[in-house]
Amino acid sequence: MAQAFKYCPLCATSLVVKLFDGNEKNACPACDFVQWDNPLPVVAIIVPHVSGGVVLIKRGMPPRLGFWALPAGFVDHGEGPFQAAVREAKEECGLDIKPVRLYGVYTPQGSNQILMVYLAKPVTQLPVPGSDALEAQVFPLDQLPADIAFPLHEEALHKWIKNCRRSQKRGRSAGRGKARAKR
């Protein structure tokens, strides 16, 4: 259980540990405050480039400062994950994206977050680093940097690349089969 508060943020009484359905939570004995410590929603975006590559940013802020990552960030209050994906792509790499679909949902080990990875339509613009990115770049799919910041970003990228290659292979073999049938 995270120890974010020692005192109730509503009445300043010292918090105590109480059981709620078998789970320990910090709670106020004087009022109704309970520190639920629910996971924080985070979005990441796989942004394909028409050149055949994928957009990554070099992180300009901790954690993992200087490492490469998908454009990503926390969902703001009052914002949906889809809107957060659009905003983060604009903030981190200057791109106006159109998310196609939710690509995957992950729970990063050791953190209290839920990571939702979106797939965007391919873009034609080149990325430009935003205020919290040191660099923004298009990488060929077979030349991704070795220093990817987060294991789940790397996992989502490799899954997407594998699916892209599988689709290309099916498209080529299907095309060849049709050509042969016409002969």
Report the number of distinct structural domains present in the chain: 2
- Do 46 and 27 lie in one domain? The reply is no
Read off the CATH number of the domain in which 130 is found: 3.90.79.10
pLDDT at residue 22, as a whole number = 93
CA 161/CA 72 separation, integer angstroms:
18
pLDDT at residue 173, as a whole number = 47
Give 91-123 pLDDT, tens digit per residue: 999 999 999 999 999 999 989 999 999 999 999
What is the reported pTM? 0.84
- Do 33 and 82 lie in one domain? The reply is no
Phi, psi of 99 (to 5 degrees): -60, 135
Does residue 181 lie within any of the structural domains?
no
Give 127-165 pLDDT, tens digit per residue: 999 999 999 999 999 999 999 999 999 999 999 999 999
Give me the domain span that covers residue 17: 1-37
